[in-house]
Amino acid sequence: DDNKYFYTVHSELNAILNYRGGSLEGSKIYVTLFPCNECAKAIIQSGIKAVIYRDDLYKDTKEVKASKRMLKTAGVEIIEYKSTGRTLNITL
């Protein structure tokens, strides 16, 4: 089958698997969408202690409900990112 989802990894898991700086214990992860249940497992196991997310588009799905339950039970802080409206301009 040519479904791309059979061949890809979510960004959270990709970041955890590719981190080469030692332990992630006590760190924070910044994500666009609230993590799914599979990514939540990796976040918990890696020792990440805070998830900062921008959008919770799939909040009514079983996967995200399970994710929230697991993260809270594991003591991972869940923080919704609030935009400040600031911008950064870089001239190259």
| Residues involved in catalysis | 12
Residue in 56, 45, 42, 37 with CA at minimum distance from that of residue 12 = 42
Give the CB-side neighbour count of residue 54, counting CA atoms within 13 A: 6
Q: How far, in Å, CA of 38 to CA of 30, rounded? A: 16
Q: How far, in Å, CA of 26 to CA of 36, rounded? A: 20
Q: Which amino acid is at 58?
A: Y
